[in-house]
Amino acid sequence: MKKASVTEAKNNLSAILQQVREGETYLILDRGKPVARLEPMAAEGRGGDERRADLERRGLLHRGRGRVRKELVDAAPPQLPKDVSALDHLLEERKEGR
C-alpha cells in the first residue's frame, strides 16, 4: 500500500488513479493521519475471480495457457513413508533450494 498526503493526492490525482486502476491501493494522509483509502473497484459479476484478477494485476499470478497433461491428472499422488511428515519434507526441500 502506497501513501500520499492530501496535497500530493490533489496534485497527482490522475497518476494515482491510474495506479489504482492497475491494482495499487493508496492511503491518503492529512497531517500524517490516515483519512481515506483509494482501492480498485471490483468489477460487477466477477465473483470469485476478483482475488485472482487482483493477483494477476500485481504480477503475482500468471494463468496457464495450455492443457494439463493427462498423465499428470491420472497419476497417483506420491506417497511418503509413514514416519515422514509432509511438512518436514517440504521444509527440507526448501533448505536444499529445491
pLDDT recorded at residue 14: 95
Output the average pLDDT for the chain: 86
Indicate if the pLDDT at residue 98 is higher than 80.
no
The DSSP-derived string for 47-83 is TTHHHHHHHHHTTS-----SPPPHHHHHSPPP---TT
Confidence (pTM): 0.45
Over residues 38-44, mean pLDDT: 75
Q: What is the pLDDT of residue 45?
A: 47
- pLDDT score recorded for residue 43: 56
Q: In the prediction, which pLDDT does 46 show?
A: 47
Q: Where are the domains of the chain?
A: 2-96
Better pLDDT: 2 or 50: 2
List Cβ neighbours of 40 (8 Å cut-off, separation of 6 or more).
Answer: 20, 21, 22, 23, 24, 25, 54, 57
